[in-house]
Structure 1
Amino acid sequence: MYTIEKINSHDDNKWNNFILAHKNASIYHHSSWKSLIETTFGYESFYYILKNNKNEIVAVAPFFLVKSKLTGKRFVSLPFSDFSDILACNNQAVKITFEAVIKSLENHNVSTILLKVKKEIDNFDKDKFCIDYQNKNHILELSLPPDKLFNKFLKTDIKRNIKKFNRVA
């Protein structure tokens, strides 16, 4: 038996404790990002937590209601972030969370749900969700010495711009 609820700012510590322990969480999942987006852009947040029968959080799903003349009224999972996976302990929790988000969509007369993910998701309603797999995140270990770090860059504009800066500086 699972229960899902939309959290408010009083539940931020519960949310943060879950995401800080989850291996796929990012800075964008933190409640501070939620506060930043709400304050800066005025978007209404819809942060869902799924609890099991022991009242433990087993999934979290962060969304914002975004209204635009260009794109209409839609739910966006973590605007202004590269990716925003639903964080869950298991596949069943992901499925239940998706179903709850769809119900919320129907209650708010929203045309689309945009979810930007790192990897493909199985068993979801493709008619209701717009899944974006095209966002890329580049990770580079910064503890390396500068010369080894520079060699990790692909031969692109990045290397060219660094060399140009070093010549000019």
Structure 2
Amino acid sequence: MHEVSVINPLEIENWNNLLATTPGYSFFHTAHWSDVLIKSYRYTPLYLCTRSNDSFISLMPLMEVSSPITGKRGVCLPFTDTCEPVSENGQCFRRLIDEAVMLGKKRQWKYLEIRGGGKYLSAEKPSETFIGHILDLRCGQKKLYSNLRDSTRRNIKKAQNEKVEVHISHELKAVKEFCRLNTLTRKMHGLPPQPYKFFQHLYDRVISQNMGFVAFATFHGQTVAANVYLHFGDEVIYKYGASDKA
């Protein structure tokens, strides 16, 4: 039986290569995302894994989050929509859970938060639930378009008639434009925006490395909406969206 190790993904030179040969991975398991979280929020990476020579057998990415208000806790992973622990079977998953609990007791965590694992935790009551959507892009643009609601197709047609243009960018300028719109959108919802340094690190470690991009729409030369997408392997994740309602 392989030993469960506690490691920092930034210290493993071929981390993403190992990940790419492991079933069940996502962008959020990459060293690049880990680096963004560490640089932006100074979290401590404590990734639990068992591995063979060329892939992971099981993997639970964990960050230790320390707050003067809520204390210390382990999270898989903070600021991450979902981060499924990678596991060959229920027995391997249970080993990861047991190791995480022991690690938490040793480091005096108040609790452990796992954003995923429902496949093996169906008997447990979740503290929160969210809905995710998976869109298969292999069917092609025409099929995807035909599956849209009538109102959505009408809105697309209206935008085309009014000469709204959509651009794809890997440039810092586009990230800054997104941040401007994000501040407006978060304010409208009564929420503070993420710190700019987070998006600067996201640009440095992800977007500029061709692992993400900004899609933005312009109307009469003015940026009115923007989305941020992140990708690794054959999956792309819609991560952030913002717009100017004015």
Q: Is this a same-fold pair by TM over 0.5? A: yes
Q: Aligned partners of 2:150 and 2:69: how far apart in 1? A: 37
Q: Distance in 1 between matches of 2:102 and 2:90?
A: 19
Given the alignment, which residue of 137, 152, 165 partners 2:159? 165
Shift of the alpha carbon at 1:99? 0.5
**1:94-152 Cα shifts (integer Å, max 9, x gaps):** 1111100001111121112111127432489x59xx6654241332416723x433223
Q: What's the TM-score, normalizing by structure 2?
A: 0.55
Tell me which amino acid in the other structure corresponds to 2:76.
S
Supply the RMSD in Å over aligned alpha carbons.
Answer: 3.2
Structure 2 counterpart of 1:152, from 147, 151, 171: 147
Which residue is 2:88 aligned to? 89
2:135 to 135, 139, 142: 139
Q: Percent identity?
A: 20
Change (3 A) 1:89 1:44: same
The residue type equivalent to 2:106 in the other structure is N
TM-score for both structures, normalised by structure 1: 0.75
In 2: Cα distance, 1:71 partner to 1:167 partner? 51
Cα distance, 1:11 vs structure 2: 2.2
Q: How many residues align?
A: 162
**Alpha carbons of structure 1 residues 78 and 144: separation in structure 2 relative to 1, 3 Å:** same
Determine if contact 1:5/1:48 at 8 Å carries over to the other structure.
yes
| 8 Å Cα contact 1:45/1:64 also seen in 2 | yes
Instruction: Map Cα deviations across residues 40-82 of structure 1 (whole Å, 9 max, x no partner).
Output: 2211111111258x9x742111011123456442211122222
Displacement of 1:161 in angstroms is: 4.9
Q: How does 1:4-153 map to 2 (within 5 A)?
A: 4-8=4-8, 9-13=10-14, 15-51=15-51, 57-68=56-67, 71-117=70-116, 119-122=118-121, 132-141=128-137, 144-145=140-141, 147-153=142-148
SS in 2 for 1:75: strand
Distance (whole Å) between structure 2 residues aligned to residue 135 and residue 167 of structure 1:
33
The structure that has the greater radius of gyration is 2
Question: How far is 1:21 from its partner?
Answer: 1.7
CA 1:139–1:87: 2 relative to 1, 3 Å = same
